[in-house]
Structure formats: C-alpha cells, structure tokens
C-alpha cells in the first residue's frame, strides 16, 4: 500500500533498502513481546504506535511454536475482559442509560486484545500478517481449546475489516501482473495448476475467465477466486473444461457460464465468507458483458460421497459389491445404479442439523443454487475417484430465484433440485 | 468503487443509467424504514442484504428532520443492548469462561445497531452515506442528548473502518482530477480558496505541495488535507505564503517546509483523528524527497486568543486600553506589549484539565510540536484580526523529538516551547 | 513522457529541479544556433544529440522575432536539397535502379532540415516545441513567402508523426486532471467557456460528453476535441444545448447525439486534420455505448453566410432591405424569407472549385455528412448574429452512408441534403 | 491501443468478439491485394482507408511465400518513384525554387509505397504487423536482391516512427503483466531463460533489474531489453551472475551495475538501433536511484573469437595445439596464453573498415565503452565454449567519457581499452 511505502524511511524494506535502514529496522529486539504490547497499550502517541506495531510483528515472526503459544496465552490472560468491571458497568448503565455509561460499558465489554490487534494492524502489511497470525492460532487451538476465546476476537475484527463493502472484484487474466498470477498456482484448491503453461490455458482462451476478490490493504493477494468457462451446454464431465484443446476455437455463441473451480486463499480468513457473494457477482457481471448467457452453473466435486459410500458399504452388501465392481471404466448399468444411490445421498441423507451430508452441496444450496444434475464419472481421474468416487455435480444459479431458494433452504431445510434428480432419488 | 459499479444492474446509477433500471431502483418505497431494518436483520441472505441496504439508505435520504429524529429514535430504542441478556451472559462467562460464552457475551454486549450499520454499509457508497448520516445525528444530538448513545456506536465503527492502516496518502496537485480538486475549494477551512485560479496558485508553483488522506471506499473524497510551502525560513506572516507572486521564482534551495493550512473534510468523522498522523507523514515524505529540508513548521491561527483578550479586557484596564489602541497598523511598542501578553496566554493560561486555552495550541503540542514563535500581526487581514487578533503562531515539528515532547506534554502537562517564547512569558 | 523524465539528471526540469541542475542546464549558451545545428548534423553520437537538441531548443526559445526569422532563413538556405547532387542521384538510379542508388537518391531528395528537425525532436517535449515553432513559422511566412518551402517539411514530418494510427481517443469529463481540463477552456473555439463553473456544466451532466484526440508524446494536450449532447431530437437552436438548466433531468431515453462544438487546439498542426476522424469515431463509440441512439447530428455555425449576405446586399436591394429589417426578434415571415435565401446560399453558391462558399459546410459535406436543416435564429446571441447572422445548420452523420456521400461530394461536387432543404432552395 | 479498441465494432476482434462481427470481418476477401492497394491510394476518405488497411493486412497475412513475393514485387514495380516525373520536378524547382515546386518534387521523389505503407499503418495493430511484414521481406530479399529497394522505404518509415523521442523506457519486474514477461522468455537471445521459475530468478531478487524500450503503438511488446545485476565488483565469470543462489542475500552496498544480457526483440526493426541508447539511459537511471553505484560494465560474449581462432589454427600450429589442449578445465598457464591471444585478437585484428573483428566489441566500442578486461573461461558452459571458446569480456561505460570515446573510435579508429588489456596485447 502506497501509505506505508511513503511512510517512514525506517519502515521501507523494499527491493533495495539501503543497508543502514535495513540494519536499523532489523536490529535485535531487546524488549519482550509482552513488554512491547504493554508499551503500545500505554502509548497514545499514534506515531509511535506504528513503530511499536512493527516491532511487535517482527518479534512475533521470529517466534517458534512454543513462543507463539506463549504469546497467545498472553493475549488470552492479560487482554481479556475484566468481568468485575464489566458487571459494574452494566449496572451503571441500567440505572442511568446515558451515552457515557454506554461507552464505559461497551469499552469494558470488549476484550482488550481487540484494541491491541487494531493497533498492531498499523504496521506495514499489518492486515496480511495478522491473517497469518490467525493461521498459527488455529494450529495451537487444535491442542489448546481455551485459545478459541482469542479467535472470537480475530473473527470479529476480520469481519469488520473485510466487510464486503470494502472488497474489490477484479478480473484475473493473462495481462495480470505475474506476482499475482503465481498466487493462483499456489492457491488453486480444486483442480491443481501445475505450471505457468497450464495457468495460461486457464486464463488466455477467449472462453475462459477468472475473477477474484481483493482487499485494499492486501492488494497483491486474492482472497478468493473463481474460474469460469463459457460453453454451449452444462458439461457433464470436468474434462470437457480442463482438457479442451486450447488451440481449438471457443464456441461462437456460448449460452452457459460454468464455475468449475472456486478457491479460498487464506485459511486465516476462515469464517469470513466471500465465495457466496463472488459467484453471484461474477454471474451478474458476465450476464452484463455477454447478454446471450442463459445458464450459470457449477461443475463441483462431491467430497462427502465416497466417505458416505464406504460407511454404507460396511453396513450394506449391495453397496460394497457395487463399489468393488465400479471403476473409471464402469458400464452404463453400473453408472445408473450409482446415480440413483448418489441422488439418494444428496436428497435423503442428512446431518444432525437436518442438512445434506455433502459440504459442497450445503455451500451451494445455502447460496440459493439448484442441484441440477449428478454426473457419474464426471471426473474419472485418480484424484477424482479418490475424492468423490468420480462423481461431479452441477449446481445452477438462477439469479432470479437464488433469494427464494435460499430462504426455502434455510428456513424449511428444503433442498431445491431439478425434477430429474428428484425422480432419481425417488426410485 | 469498482465493486459496486460491477455489482448488479439495478444498483448502477451511473452517468447514464438506462431509464428502466433507474425506475426500478428509484421506484416508490412501500415499506417503512423500520420494517426494512427489521427485514435486514432477519435476513441472512447476504445478497439480499445489499438490496435492502440500498433501500434503507434511499428511504433515509428522503426523510426530513422529523423523519430523521424518528429513525434515530428507532436505533436508540430498538437496537440497543439487552441489559438482562447481557447480564446473564457475563455471569455465564464468569462461571465458564470458554469461547462460546465469550462470544455469546460479546455479541450481547454490542448494541445491535452496530450490526445494522455494518449491513447498511454494503450499499453502494454506503460508507460515505453513513458519514453523512452521522452529521445529521449531530444536529439532532444537540437537541436530544439521549441520542449520544447512538453516536458511541457510529464512533466505534468509524474508528475500526478508518483504521489508519487502511488510509492512503496521496499528493494533490494540478494534475489531480477536477472532481477531487473542487473538494479542496469546498473544504478548505483555514484560508479560503475563492476560485479555481486561486486553487491553482496553491497547487501549481514548484514550492507548493498538498497531501490528503483517502479511504479506499470513499476514494473521491479527501478525509483531511494539508497545504505546504517550501521556504528559506519560518515565515512570520501568512501573507508571505498566500501572497507570494506566483510568477516569481520559488527558492532554489529551500530549507523549511511550512504547513500553513490543515482541513478536515467531514464533520461526520469527528473524533476519528487523522491530522496528527498526516502532518508527520507528510514531513517524513518531504524529507525523503528533498533531503535539504531542515525545519518543519506550521504557521497557525490562535483562535482562542481574541476571546481570552476580550474576557481579560473586561477585568483589566490595561488590556482594554491595549485592545483599543491596537490595530493592523500598530507600532513596534504596541506589538511588543501584545507579544508578551500572548506568550503569557499560551504558557500560563490553562483550562480545567491543566492544558492551554488555545485549541490549536493543544492540537500541535499534543502532537509533540514545539511552540516556536508568536507572530503579532502575522495575519492582519480583517478575518485574521477577527479570528486571532492578527496573531499567528509557528509550531515546529522536530521529527526526532515529537514522541518525547508528546510524552512530556501528555504526562506532565509540560508545554514545549522555544527559549525565546519562554523568556517573553517570563517578563 | 516517462522516457525523458527518466533520462538524464541534467534534463529533468520538473517541479523542483535541484538548483545545481537547473543552473547547469540553463547556463548561458555560448554557441550560436547555427553552430549547434551544425554540430548536431555532424555528430553521430546519438546520446550527445539529445543534449544538443535541448540546447538548440533552449536557444531557439530565447529568440525574438528577428532571431526566429534568421533561424528560419538558416533552415531555408543551409538545409535544403542539393539540386545538383539530387540530379546526379536520379540519373544514377535511372541507369542502375538498385537499392543503393535508390537510397542515395531518396536521401539527396529529402531537404536536410527534415533530418535536423527529427533530431531536434529528441529533446524533452520536443514534439510540442516543434509544433510551437511551426506557429512562429506561420507568422514569418505571412511576410516572407519563401519560407513556405520550410513549411512543406514541417507538414511532411507532422503528417508522419501524427499518423492517426498513433492517436489515442480519450473521454474528457469532470474526473479528468485539472491541467488538461483547463486546456478546454483555453482552446474552445466555437462556444466560449468562460470559467470552471461553465466547464463543469459542459462536462458533468449525464447527457453531456466530450472526447479528444491525444498523441503519446504530447499527452497533456488534446489535439482536437468535440463536445456532444444527448437529446430527444435534433435541436434547432444552440440555446437548447448551452442553456439547458443543469439541474433539470436529462432525457431518460435520448435518441440523438448532437456534436455542438469541435475545436482544434494547435495552429501548428494546421493541415494535419483529425476532426473528420474524431467525429466518426465518437459517433461509433457512442452508438456502442448507447445502442438506442439513432441520429448523429451537428449544430454548426454558418460563418460565410453573413459575409455573403452583405456582399449580396450591395448588389440587390431586396437583400439589403431584408437585412435592415431582420434582427433577433424577426417574425416568421422574415425568417421564412431568410431561410429560402440561406438554402440558396448553401446549395447554389459555389467557389472557384465548384464547392459551397461556407467553410463549415465544406468540412462536413466532405466528411460525408448530409445538410439536414437550416435554423434561422438558431443562435440569436450577439456573437451568433455577428458571426452567422444568427443562422445554425444541422449536418447529419449517417454512418452507413458517409463513405458514399463523401464520394459523391468529392467526385461529382454533389451536395447531399435533406429533401426539405432542397425544396427550400428550389423556391 | 485504446484508439482501435474504441474504433469500430467491425474492427474489434477481442477476447470475445460476437460471432456476427467476427464473421463480417473475417469474411472471404474477394478483391485482390493489388486492387485493394489501388483502392486505398485512390480513396481520400480517411475513414474508409481504415477498413481498407485492415482488409489489405488480412489478405496479406493469408499469403504463402509465393504470394508474399508477388506482393513485394507489386510494391517494387507499381509503387516506385516515377523517374521522369521526378526529373521534371527537380528541373522546375531549379528554375523556380518555391514551396509549390519543392512540394511537387519531394512528393515525386518519395517512392509511392511509403504513402501506401503509412496508410496500411492505420489498421489495428498496423505497426506491429508491418514490422512482421519486413521480416518476411528479409527472407525474400536474401533470394531476390532487387527487393532491397523496398527495404529502404521500410527502414525510412520505421526510423521516423520509432524516433527515440517516442519510446518509453519501462522497468520489467515480477509485477509486470504476464503476457509481457513471457516475451522475455521468447526473446532473450544471450542467456536462455528456460521457464518461469528461471525468469523469476532473473527479475525478483533485490539486486536484479531489467528495463525495456516500448513504443506507444506496440505497447505489449518490448523492442529491446537489458538485464542488470548489482554487484560488489566487475564479475569475471557469467556464472557469478546467473547462478547466484537466489536465496542468498544480495550485496548490501553494491557499487557496480553489470549489464549481462541485451536482446533485441524484432528482426523487423533491424537497422533502427535502440540498444546503445538503452544501456546509457538505464545506467543514468540506476545512478540516480542508487547513487553509490560507481561502475557500469557489461559481461559480454565474444562471438567472433572462436571463429577467428579456428581460422588461425589452420594457419598456425601453435594456435592449433593450444586449441587442442584447451578446455573448460584448462590450467592457469594455458589460460594466460589464451588471454594474450585474445587481447591480440581484440586490439590488433581488424576488418576491411579498420574495425575490430568482433561484432560485440564493435557495438560497445562504438557506443563509447572501454574494453576493460578479458575473462578466459568466463563462460565455460558448453554453449559458452561453442560460442566464444569460453571467453567473456567486460566493457565499461563511463558516462562522463562515452562521448569522447565514441568520437575517438569513430573518427580515428581508436580502440579504448584498459592499460591491462593493452599490456597483454603488447606481449
């Protein structure tokens, strides 16, 4: 961000920071992090906060796992709410509900680590570094569940900072700067991009598009991105998308936009969801650009399907036999059989909250999409077999119905699907 | 922001929105604001929030003063914290301080209008429109003090959103787009800019600079801006800056950067201070660009001085007589006399919190500046006489000392000043 | 251009060139221009050419009129073609038409000042400064017709450099940088823009557009710009465009784009015409942006009309009487009479090359436009009365017919006009 | 270029041109190229020229070699100068040297194909496509030497269009758009870049820089680029540059900028040299950015050396024996021997124009560089052995002396070299 590049010489570690500055900034930190945090909360000199923020992050980034656990414990114990003070404040407000008492209460009721993290955010690249810090926190949380209390504060702050009103949707194509494109290679989670040649095949053909959300203070890093192919029809197999010969002509008059991969880039932003929004915004955007588009659909994996099949196989012989006989070369009969089972899986099998078992299904159905079609062997690659027993699903986003579908799903647990899938499940 | 421009056809009211869209969006709102707010808090379909946010703001912006008071009262009464629930939550957390209880408590402890405002922020231009809303709130607050409770929430949200880590410092010069420059004319608060010709004289000469802070979601609107002149010496009169013949050559080798005007642009951001930070960042920036600069100083008004003099005049005859005899043409003797009184005013006269009476002095001294010199008749214009009895003050920012000075001022109420001023005050 | 900004310290005279550099570059030139030009043509060290180019232009720009005449005379006499050498070269080529002989001939046949000017173009801002030089040349040419020989070379070079393949069409609106917008105020040649407030009324309303051509090496300077209003119908009076209340709503569904002002910015580019091209490109551009547009028309002055009327008045009594009785308040009968005369003027009166007398008519008809309507008192302002006896003309650009119309006009001297105008002229 | 993107729907073949437009534009051309060229020269409707230009280039690009030869023959025969007319014009000018006669003569003296090519340049991407056309011309020229006459016109036009006053120097780094970076991989001519990982190692480390020249009408294509490494000393082996571990720290205080690769990108621009200029401009630029830099040097191959050695070996036994014994593992004694021979080669061996035999030496010496050091086995890789018998040479650019050196070299055939090399050659 221009802001920090312009800021203070001692903070500019760019491509070639004069060595004297580099030394100054990177000199051995003599204070403990605990003491630096204390100094920062004491200070109300905003300008010094900036240097302190940098020193804290520098010190933090040199910690090993043990050190990070200590730091998180510090946040947990020393920067929590003061229950007694909070209780007094709520009583005072109850008796005299004026602005001063409200402010006193809301201040007391906010864990002090929120303010600490807000101040740390002043450092150059602060936001990005705090997102990383939360990733470390997840690791520690898995072993020290009490740290979850800290995470509520990270989550609260990130929700405010990454308010979708602040996000920018940007196209990503072959004219995008290389240091951003390489992140696509790193972060692509659904269909691996092996190298730059493959990346180019994803971005350059006239029928391929990619869009990402960016945040102004992490402008070189997509938060989430989605890959789209324009086609003549809803594809039944991911290979139609991934292995189209790039030299062959794209369709002259595509009517479908296929979302074939959506990847979140930062674990540290878990719980701050953008994907929902991005799909609808990209759909809207493409519709404006290519009015001839009629259908917006995904081609998605079914990661819970194989897991469920295996569990069933232990209980039911006919499933076990089916699984034994089934492979990438399965014949039509076998495929039909599996399709019925899959339809049953998606429509009838529910978790404890009466939602479908499949996490991808939950995501798209909650967004208001319609489960359109189940494609047995839609991805017969080893990884497709491993992940979803080869099955791919099309979820269709009908923009005029997503809100209504969403309501039905959320309020009545209704799964919106095509008649064809419903019929299959009824067999 | 690209985000919203790209968003949904129905939300794009650009330079030439097709009439059908315009009509759709601007159609008569049939729901009450209260009901729209209720719908938005009920909804968890994020995409629909966006439309609701736009509808709420549209409806709000058509309200008259009475309507606004009603809306604020709605926020006050219906979107406050639930004291009982909060109390229960704090007790639960006390007994079992786990993450769930903490989250339950912090959620309960946050007035619900904060979430409401966060969702309203999703609308196109939401941030800017909420800043405006707070300006309306100030008007109502002056008559209905209970509304101050709402303002604590606006203030809290704006502090998070306008975290200085998200601000961009940008130079403003004669190559800046016109729609931004015209804001300088509108917002300049210290030395009025009458027209474009005058604006050009402020921005174009080689020795004149201007910088502003911008926020990514209000990118056409400076939040605060500062005007700077490069000179050979600290000016004793504002005329040296404002009325330098623009055709005459700027100094070939300037050593001083003079901050001669700093203006905040949005009343709705009161309490979210940037000016402090901006001055230091601009100073750092200029130092890097022009290493020959040695001194960073303001030339500032003294708005409390005349007020104080008039009060004193009612008590002390010699002050009354001095004021009678004093005008823009006063001789050296009179000026010396007034200078001593001014030094006394700045150094000895304190308010109830043991701080100087002059608000501009408080601002710069708190920032860590040094009161360098008092310039009697530094601004002998009618407005200067009216505002500060003609007096201008130089506050010097020595970047290597601002933190130390700040600490002394904040902790020990010490006024940092030059020996010369101290001597005067001692007379 | 970045190129020169990055070039050599001694050439960068920016907003704040360190004085030492400024002095170096601006030091007294001790060589004569003649000698500098000689050195440059001798040198084949390209890097030194750059400095020499700067020195030549610096020296040139300090010349008074007498000095400029001397310089042009130098170009005329010392940098012409060598007739003898050229004749030998053409003979050699005739005998042996190989590449070497061709090169030798074309080199000899090009006046040497072309190469000199090409090298001068290397200086920072060279192109712009050479355009200015040609403006000086025009002044001298009017008194020293032999200098026209030099102008053929300027014209030849500018035609190559300003090849339309290198021009950029850019929208100009209220978000355009101020230093470019101020040029619109300066260069507007048809309907004066008095100040920034008026400029804003031309650019900001939703139904007003402006486009200009730019050249990469003069990127802050439009070469030509055109102002457009979107309307419901072809306006009969310029006041409908210029004095529409900016607060009133623009038409919701405009069908016409009206080119109401087109201005060339640099006299020094005379003979390198862009206006023709710009109108058609803007029309194409607007059509793509607003497909509902059906009609592209100008509302243009008739600068030759009053002149011709006055000449006629001296010959014909009825014209003299009409002119006496006619003013901005003329009744319908008088207006009808004048309209018939005007139709006659446009369609029947020809110059020696069998073209219409009116220069604006010649421009648009040659471009392939159709003379659509004559508007008596279309501009009843004093300047409109003075310039065109109040008459405004609509020329319609039907993009599907401009080529055909152009051919008819150029090859057969046919004036394309509406039946209505033809009928009037026949009366 | 924005220009053409905005131009006419039928000309926009972008990422996704609606099929109807594509068909329109790509429809079978029914006219012959000869006839299209004829139509274009006849037409003076500039707007139609644009379409004709596109049709001509479209037709041209579908030609096979035979067709291209025919087209070039058309240019040669039908668009040459008319010798008779030219002779008449020169005589008329001799008798009456006025502007009209000069214009008539210069017009006659310019082969008509120049105007034809200027008009073809109006097509979208015209410049780039004409550069390609000249590459085809080179192929035909090698077999049909009479076509060289056409090339003089291409050369003349390109020299005017690519006047260095129009070029932009741009840094190329890891934030440059991918479609530009991939051109570096394609065009790198000196030290092959195998893939994106290697490209990144060239661009991303803090001590590596790359700059290219761009032309406004070919903005996605570098014309020439140079790669630079900042180091502590002049490297004796290219491996120090190419194989520095990218993870290791770059020097904290580099004093040398090493130009280790310079590549021209377009054969079609042969004879329009930029490399000379680029090196000096990059050196100036780096000096301003890193004032601590003292030395600007290349590390260059010696492509003529092996060739010359082999020729000598046939004549002199001791050379033949040396070559037999010499390989990448040669000992000091052998290396010293070869060094002396190399010094002799560079300083004493001349071609028929009394210049050094080595083309790289000629390039840098003509630019005003100093032959600083000969590095035996500076590039012991197979390709280095193959190309230069392993020898690399440092040419130092002392900006304060390049002009003087250049003059000495050009006027007196003096080879500027270090005392050390001179001494070696004297042995």
Cα of A238 to nearest chain B Cα, Å: 28
Look at C178 and B174 and tell me if their CB atoms are within 8 Å. yes
* pLDDT(B361) > 80: yes
| Cβ-based neighbours of C90, under 8 Å, separated by 6 or more | C105, C109, D83, D86, D87, D90
Q: Do D206 and A16 touch (CB under 8 A)?
A: yes
ipTM over 0.90 threshold: no
Q: Look at B178 and C175 and tell me if their CB atoms are within 8 Å.
A: yes
**Is residue B264 helix, strand or coil?**
strand
Chain C residues with CB-CB distance to B15 below 8 A: 173, 206
Q: Number of C:D CB contacts under 8 A?
A: 176
Nearest chain A CA: its distance from B43 CA (Å): 9
A166 contacts in chain B (CB < 8 Å): 161, 166, 216-217
Rounded to an integer, the average pLDDT of D292-317 is: 94
According to the per-residue pLDDT averaged within each range, which of B279-283, C46-50, D228-232 is highest?
D228-232
- Are C165-298 and C300-426 in the same CATH fold? yes
Q: Do D105 and C103 touch (CB under 8 A)?
A: no
Cα A241 to the center of its chain, rounded Å: 23
Rounded Cα gap, residues A266 and A131, in angstroms: 8
pLDDT at C3: 26
Collect all residues of chain D within an 8 Å Cβ-Cβ radius of residue A22: 252
Give the gap in angstroms from C-alpha C112 to the nearest C-alpha of chain D. 12
Residues of D in contact with A178 (CB under 8 A): 174-178, 181, 196, 200
Q: What is the pLDDT of residues B62-94, one digit of tens each?
A: 999 999 999 999 999 999 998 999 999 999 999
Q: What is the pLDDT of residues C186-204, one digit of tens each?
A: 998 888 899 999 999 999 8
State the pLDDT confidence band at B16, using cuts at 50, 70 and 90: very low
Does pLDDT of A97 surpass 80? yes
Q: How high is the pLDDT of residue D189?
A: 83
> What pLDDT shows up at residue C22?
43
Residue A124 has pLDDT above 90, yes or no: no
Q: Which residues of B touch A8 (CB under 8 A)?
A: 281, 284
CB-CB neighbours of B386 under 10 Å: 10
Average pLDDT, chain A: 88
Residue C357 C-alpha from the chain's centroid: 20
Asked if A touches C (at least 3 Cβ pairs < 8 angstroms), the answer reads no
pLDDT of residue C15: 39
- Indicate the pairing of strand D256-264 with strand D295-298: parallel
- Res D19: pLDDT: 38
CATH superfamily of C300-426: Malonyl-CoA decarboxylase, catalytic domain (3.40.630.150)
DSSP characters for B307-337? HHHHHHHHH-HHHHHHHHH--TT--HHHHHH
Measured between beta carbons, the chain D residues lying within 8 angstroms of A291 are none
Q: Do chains A and D touch (3 or more CB pairs under 8 A)?
A: yes
Give dist(CA C70, CA C136) in Å, integer: 12
**CATH of span C2-161:** 1.20.140.90
Which residues, 6+ apart, have CB-to-CB distance to C109 below 8 Å? C81, C86, C89, C90, D86, D105, D106, D109, D110
| Residues from chain A contacting residue D230 (CB–CB below 8 Å) | 16
- pLDDT value at A23 more than 70: no
For position B371, what pLDDT does the model report? 97
Please report residues of B whose CB lies closer than 8 A to that of A6: 169, 281, 284-285
Q: Which residue of D has its CA nearest to A177?
A: D177
Q: What are the pLDDT digits (tens) for D6-31?
A: 333 333 333 343 333 344 455 677 88
Q: Where are the alpha helices (DSSP H) in D245-381?
A: 275-289, 303-315, 317-325, 332-348, 359-366
CB-nearest partner of D47 from C80, C99, C277: C277
Q: What pLDDT score does D12 carry?
A: 31
Minimal Cβ distance to C284: which of D7, D148, D169: D7
Beta bridge partners of C301: C392
- Which of C14, C16, C251 to probe the B interface (max B CBs under 10 A)? C16
Q: Do A403 and B48 touch (CB under 8 A)?
A: yes
Contact between chains at C106 and D152 (C-beta distance less than 8 A): yes
Least confident of B145-159, C113-127, D272-286: D272-286
Which residues, in sequence order, are CB contacts of B386 under 8 Å at separation 6+?
B306
Quote the tokens at residue C14. Answer: 């920016």
For A175, name the nearest residue in chain D, comparing CA atoms only: D177
Query: Is a pLDDT exceeding 70 seen at residue A24?
Result: no
pLDDT for residue D294 is more than 90: yes
Contacts of D157 in chain C (CB under 8 A): 160
Contact in structure between C356 and C401 (CB atoms under 8 Å): no
Angle between helices C33-42 and C46-61 (to 10 degrees): 160
Enumerate the residues of chain C whose CB falls inside 8 A of the CB of residue B182.
200
Q: Which helix (H) or strand (E) holds B411?
A: helix B402-412
pLDDT score of A135 more than 50: yes
Nearest to C56 by CA among C134, C117, C139: C117
Reply yes or no on whether the pLDDT at A21 is more than 50.
Answer: no
Q: What percent of chain D has pLDDT over 70?
A: 92
Fold of B165-298: Aminopeptidase (3.40.630)
pLDDT for res B27: 62
Q: Which of A370-374, C117-121, C219-223 has the highest mean pLDDT?
A: A370-374
Contact B178 C181 (CB under 8 A): yes
**CB within 8 Å: B47 and A276:** yes
Q: Would you say A325 and A334 are in contact if contact means Cβ atoms under 8 Å apart?
A: yes
- The pLDDT confidence band at residue B25, using thresholds 50, 70 and 90, is low
Radius of gyration from C-alpha coordinates of chain C: 26
Q: Do A252 and D19 touch (CB under 8 A)?
A: yes
User: Cα dihedral sign for B19, B21, B24, B28?
Assistant: negative
pLDDT band with cut points at 50, 70 and 90 for residue C25 = low
B188-242 pLDDT per residue, tens: 888 889 999 999 999 988 899 999 999 888 888 999 999 999 999 999 999 999 9
CB-CB under 8 Å, B177 with C176: yes
Instruction: Please check whether residue A418 is in contact with residue A373, taking contact to mean a CB–CB distance below 8 angstroms.
Output: yes
pLDDT score of D320 more than 60: yes
pTM as predicted:
0.84
**Hey, are the CB atoms on D178 and A178 less than 8 Å from each other?**
yes
A3 vs B46, B146, B169: nearest CB: B169
CA proximity to C48, closest of D223, D410, B216? D410
Distances (CA, A) of D294 to A18, C71, D253, D299, D397: 16, 42, 11, 16, 10
- Token pair of D121 as six digits: 């340049």
Residues on D contacting A at a C-beta cutoff of 8 Å: 15-16, 19, 22, 173-179, 181-182, 195-196, 200, 206-207, 230, 250, 252-253, 290
Strand partners, D294: none
The yes-or-no verdict on residue A22 having pLDDT over 50 is no
For B14, name the nearest residue in chain C, comparing CA atoms only.
C206
Average of per-residue pLDDT across C37-51: 78
**What are phi and psi for residue C236, nearest 5 degrees?**
-95, -10
pLDDT at B19: 38
Among chain C residues, CA nearest to D285: C6
Residue D125: what pLDDT? 86
Rounded to a whole number, what is the distance in Å from the CA of A290 to chain D's nearest CA? 9
Residues of chain D with Cβ-Cβ distance to A20 below 8 Å are none
Please name the residue that has the structure tokens 């810090």: A133
Query: Is D253–A290 a contact, with Cβ atoms under 8 angstroms apart?
Result: no
- Alpha-carbon gap, residue B417 to C12, rounded angstroms: 41
Asked if D174 lies within 8 A of A179 by C-beta distance, the reply is yes
Domain boundaries, chain A: 2-161, 165-298, 300-426
């Amino acid at each position: 961000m221009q802001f920090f590049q312009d800021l203070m010489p001692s903070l500019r570690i760019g491509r070639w920071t004069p060595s004297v500055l580099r030394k100054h900034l990177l000199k051995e930190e003599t204070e403990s992090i605990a003491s630096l945090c204390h100094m920062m909360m004491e200070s109300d000199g905003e300008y010094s906060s900036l240097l302190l923020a940098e020193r804290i992050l520098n010190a933090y980034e040199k910690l090993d796992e043990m050190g990070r656990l200590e730091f998180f414990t510090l946040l947990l114990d020393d920067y929590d709410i003061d229950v007694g003070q909070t209780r007094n404040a709520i009583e005072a407000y109850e008796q005299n509900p004026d602005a001063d008492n409200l402010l006193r209460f809301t201040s007391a009721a906010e864990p002090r680590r929120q303010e600490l993290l807000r101040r740390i955010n002043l450092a150059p690249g602060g936001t990005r570094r705090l997102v990383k810090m939360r990733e470390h926190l997840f690791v520690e949380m898995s072993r020290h569940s009490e740290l979850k209390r800290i995470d509520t504060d990270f989550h609260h702050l990130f929700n405010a900072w990454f308010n979708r009103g602040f996000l920018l949707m940007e196209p990503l194509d072959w004219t995008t700067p290389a240091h951003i494109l390489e992140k696509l290679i790193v972060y692509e989670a659904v269909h691996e991009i092996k190298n730059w040649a493959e990346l180019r095949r994803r971005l350059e053909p006239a029928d391929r598009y990619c869009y990402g959300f960016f945040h102004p203070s992490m402008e070189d890093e997509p938060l989430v991105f989605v890959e789209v192919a324009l086609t003549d029809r809803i594809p039944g197999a991911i290979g139609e998308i991934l292995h189209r010969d790039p030299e062959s002509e794209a369709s002259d008059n595509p009517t479908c936009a296929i979302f074939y991969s959506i990847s979140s880039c930062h674990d540290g932003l878990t719980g701050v969801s953008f994907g929902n929004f991005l799909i609808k915004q990209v759909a809207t955007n493409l519709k404006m650009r290519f009015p001839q588009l009629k259908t917006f659909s995904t081609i998605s994996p079914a990661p819970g399907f194989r897991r469920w099949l295996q569990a069933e196989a232990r209980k039911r012989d006919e499933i076990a036999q089916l699984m034994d006989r089934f492979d990438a070369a399965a014949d039509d009969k076998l495929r039909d059989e599996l399709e019925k089972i899959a339809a049953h899986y998606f429509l009838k099998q529910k978790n404890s909250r009466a939602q479908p078992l499949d996490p991808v299904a939950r995501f798209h159905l909650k967004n208001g999409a319609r489960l359109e079609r189940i494609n047995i062997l839609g991805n017969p690659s080893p990884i497709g077999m491993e992940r979803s027993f080869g099955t791919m699903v099309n979820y269709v986003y009908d923009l005029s119905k997503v809100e209504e579908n969403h309501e039905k799903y959320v309020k009545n647990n209704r799964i919106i699907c095509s008649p064809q899938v419903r019929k299959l499940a009824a067999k």
